[in-house]
């Protein structure tokens, strides 16, 4: 089963809004990853975080690796319609360096 | 290189039939992974190969499931005597090191 708690489960965005989602775990991880998945496709990596406290940006996306190594957040600034999709957090390590544990996802939909 | 390729993209099968999926990883990647994703959930780890060696199998991988990577290149995942609970998206991913996972587009299995 899933080890990671991701919230919110879903959200509606209006173009131009900033949105935020987060992920918490009962276990520590060495790496936090954020993926986006669109219908019928596999997850695509958005941001990878390798160090506690690290803050990394990729265009309008910003993610942070929590100091406790048990949490991470993702912010999307000035959202646009193509930001819709399902966003997943994933943790990796320390007990092994190959397995990813995923959250259940945050579904982002455009508000009509 | 066009990324991780999975075939078929969709498979509908009758309960009790055997199915086989294929994954072609990125050519220089020596690590290959299989994940399963059910509706509304994040991907769950099934198994991991380093070159041709299968190094871990999740307990999700019952004895009806078998995965191979005979020459350390492409991999196959076979499900014998399919059950309705096997309906899911089966995702393959590859990487050169622990970081840098790339997922394929997945095979959507429907068991009727």
Hey, how many other C-beta atoms are within 10 angstroms of the C-beta on B83? Answer: 12
Mutate to test the interface with B, among A4, A36, A42, A54 (most CBs of B within 10 A): A42
* A93 with B98: Cβ contact below 8 A: yes
Task: Give which of B101, B100, B22 is closest to A42, Cα–Cα.
Answer: B101
Coil, strand or helix at A81:
helix
Q: How many CB atoms lie under 10 A from the CB of residue B85?
A: 9
Cβ–Cβ below 8 Å for A105 and B99: no
What percent of chain A is predicted at pLDDT more than 90?
88
Q: Give the pLDDT confidence score for residue A1 in this predicted structure.
A: 46
Give the bridge partners for B42, in sequence order.
Answer: none
Alpha carbon distance B65, B96 (integer Å): 25
Give the pLDDT of residue A86: 97
Predicted local confidence at residue B101, as pLDDT: 87
Cα–Cα distance between B15 and A109 in angstroms, integer?
35
pLDDT tens readout for residues B44-54: 999 999 999 99
A43-80 burial code (b ≥16 CB/10 A, e <16): bebbbbbeebebebeeeebbbbbbeebbbbbbebeebe
The string of pLDDT tens digits covering residues A70-95 is: 999 999 999 999 999 999 999 998 87
Average pLDDT, chain B: 94
Contact A103 B40 (CB under 8 A): no
């Amino acid at each position: 089963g899933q080890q990671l708690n991701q919230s919110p489960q879903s959200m509606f965005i209006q173009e131009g809004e900033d949105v935020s989602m987060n992920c918490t775990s009962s276990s520590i991880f060495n790496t936090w990853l954020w993926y986006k998945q669109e219908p019928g496709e596999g997850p695509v990596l958005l941001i990878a975080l390798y160090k506690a406290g690290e803050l990394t940006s990729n265009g309008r996306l910003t993610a942070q690796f929590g100091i406790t190594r048990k949490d991470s957040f993702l912010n999307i600034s000035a959202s646009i319609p193509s930001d819709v999709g399902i966003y997943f957090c994933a943790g990796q390590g320390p007990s092994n360096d190959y397995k990813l544990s995923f959250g259940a996802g945050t579904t982002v939909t455009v508000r009509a | 290189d066009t990324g991780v390729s999975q075939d078929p993209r969709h498979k509908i099968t009758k309960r009790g039939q055997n199915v086989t999926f294929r994954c072609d990883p990125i050519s220089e990647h020596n690590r290959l992974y299989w994940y399963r994703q059910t509706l509304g959930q994040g991907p769950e780890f099934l198994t991991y190969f380093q070159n041709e060696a299968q190094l871990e199998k999740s307990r999700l991988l019952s004895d009806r499931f078998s995965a191979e990577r005979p020459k350390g290149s492409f991999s196959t995942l076979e499900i014998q005597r399919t059950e309705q609970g096997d309906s899911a998206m089966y995702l393959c991913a590859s990487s050169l090191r622990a970081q840098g996972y790339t997922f394929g587009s997945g095979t959507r299995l429907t068991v009727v």
